[in-house]
Amino acid sequence: MRIAYLSSSPIPSRYANSVHVMKMCQALAAQGHEVNLHARPGDADASGDDVFARYGVERSFQIHLSPRPAIRAFGSLVYASNVRRRIRAGTPPDLFYARNLYSLAAVAGMGIPMVYEAHTLPANAGQRLVENRLFRHPDFRCLVVISDALRRDYLAAVRTLDPKRVIVAHDGADLPGPHRVNEPVIEWPSRPGALQVGYVGHLYPGKGMEMVAQMPERLPDVDFHVVGGTEEDLTAWRARVTAPNLTFHGFVSHARLASYYHRCHVLLAPLQRRVTLQKGKGDIARWTSPLKLFEYMAHGRAIIISDLPVLEEVIEAGVTGLVAPSADPEAWARQIARLRDNRALGARLGASAREALEQHYTWNTRAARVLDAARGIAA
């Protein structure tokens, strides 16, 4: 089957949505399909990089980049038109799989089945109108959402949406291969015997750096590591937190993250009750399915999450991780100290988390489940 994956993500970029897109295209291709990814040009300074190597994915699909002019309100429509023109110029696909609403709307009417994946409810009335038209289109097969909370909210917001056409597919991760002793050496300040605790991801408000920043002084015998962040955010946080047992490693390409995960005993997902996107926009706390959570699981490390219901859809307290109140730093310090003092507990939690990931949350499992659901839904 020929699949056209419609995205508005810049490729390459530092954002998690581009990782999701690249991993899903690899997973769809692994099911034996011909996949063509339509996306926007990404980082200018990365134009000479091997894009596939940067994301740690196989060169198993094609990438087609279309420009999106920086025109407020109309840039997205021009981009969608560019994608439509490129698709019409080539061999028609057998399926449209879209994370970009306007691109999908632009190709609707070609008589080709459509799957739409959403990570939030629509942000405005215009997006709601376009979505509702797509949901009623005869070629629409199913809506893929990243959490059960988002499924419930869509069904409440769109009364005409058939529940059988809404598929919950949490994000995923690849199972890492064995760590090799000859992997590139990274700078990793640490003290012999100290518990190594990591946070991986962006530093936007609500992502969790607010909580991580309060831990080093409470636990001076533990080494903390933060991987990720823009230069602007890193500058701000380095000025605010100067504890000697906290290291900011900065941005690391996705393909190199395994070495950082490997050096941690405990990994943190301290999301807050409000989680913004880049530039402080929106609030995704109710629906989020953070990629880092599944990568933590894949690496078999002990995990501590905030008590957000959407995170507890994936992590079972005391079985695959520990839970702490999102705004209670003393509770977070106690959970970290618990794992510091009981390394065997951390090992058991990490092993259980990896087993759950392997059974339910790999990218290949996700891709196969979504395609099976789309095939099983009649037009």
pLDDT tens, position by position, 330-346: 999 999 999 999 999 99
Contacts of 192 (CB under 8 A, 6+ apart): none
CATH number at residue 66: 3.40.50.2000
Residue-number span of the structural domain to which 39 is assigned = 2-172+362-376
Taking 80 as the threshold, does the pLDDT of residue 284 lie above it? no
Whether residues 165 and 313 fall in one domain: no
pLDDT band at residue 184 under the 50/70/90 scheme:
low
Taking 60 as the threshold, does the pLDDT of residue 45 lie above it? no
Whether residues 216 and 344 fall in one domain: yes
Q: Residue 145, CB half-sphere, CA atoms under 13 Å: how many?
A: 24
Closest residue by Cα to residue 257 from 59, 56, 60 = 56
Whether residues 93 and 211 fall in one domain: no
Q: How many structural domains comprise the chain?
A: 2
In a domain, 84, yes or no: yes
Answering whether pTM is above 0.85, one says: yes
Q: In Å, how far are 146, 192, 237, 333 from 337, measured between CA atoms?
A: 32, 17, 24, 6
d(CA 36, CA 291): 23
Whether residues 42 and 139 fall in one domain: yes
**Residue corresponding to tokens 């015998």:** 221
- For 178-182, 185-189, 320-324, which range has the lowest pLDDT when averaged over its residues? 178-182
Contacts of 156 (CB under 8 A, 6+ apart): none
Taking 80 as the threshold, does the pLDDT of residue 309 lie above it? yes
Whether residues 118 and 252 fall in one domain: no
Whether residues 7 and 94 fall in one domain: yes
Whether residues 350 and 367 fall in one domain: no
Taking 60 as the threshold, does the pLDDT of residue 291 lie above it? yes
d(CA 207, CA 290): 10
Whether residues 168 and 41 fall in one domain: yes
Buried b (16+ CB within 10 A) or exposed e, 74-83: ebbbebbebb
Whether residues 145 and 280 fall in one domain: no
Q: What does the pLDDT look like over 76-128, one tens digit per residue?
A: 999 999 999 999 999 999 999 999 999 999 999 999 999 999 999 998 999 99
Q: In Å, how far are 2, 10, 99, 298, 343 from 37, measured between CA atoms?
A: 11, 11, 11, 25, 43
In a domain, 191, yes or no: no
In a domain, 179, yes or no: no
| Beta-carbon count within 10 A of 91 CB | 10
Q: Can you say how many angstroms the Cα of residue 196 is from the centroid of all Cα atoms in its chain?
A: 24
In a domain, 27, yes or no: yes
Whether residues 229 and 296 fall in one domain: yes
Tokens of residue 289, six digits: 């399915």
Whether residues 371 and 348 fall in one domain: no
56: left (phi over 0), alpha (psi -120 to 50) or beta: left
pLDDT band at residue 181 under the 50/70/90 scheme:
very low
In a domain, 183, yes or no: no
pLDDT at 47: 46
pLDDT at 378: 64
- For 46-55, 79-88, 142-151, which range has the lowest pLDDT when averaged over its residues? 46-55
In a domain, 331, yes or no: yes
In a domain, 368, yes or no: yes
318: left (phi over 0), alpha (psi -120 to 50) or beta: left
Q: What does the pLDDT look like over 231-263, one tens digit per residue?
A: 999 999 999 999 999 999 999 988 899 999 999
Contacts of 349 (CB under 8 A, 6+ apart): 302, 303, 319, 320, 321, 322
pLDDT band at residue 15 under the 50/70/90 scheme:
confident
pLDDT band at residue 46 under the 50/70/90 scheme:
very low
pLDDT at 131: 96
Nearest-Å Rg of the Cα atoms of the chain is 21
When the pLDDT of each residue in the chain is averaged and rounded to a whole number, the result is 92
Over range 155-179, report the average pLDDT.
92
In a domain, 350, yes or no: yes
Whether residues 131 and 257 fall in one domain: no
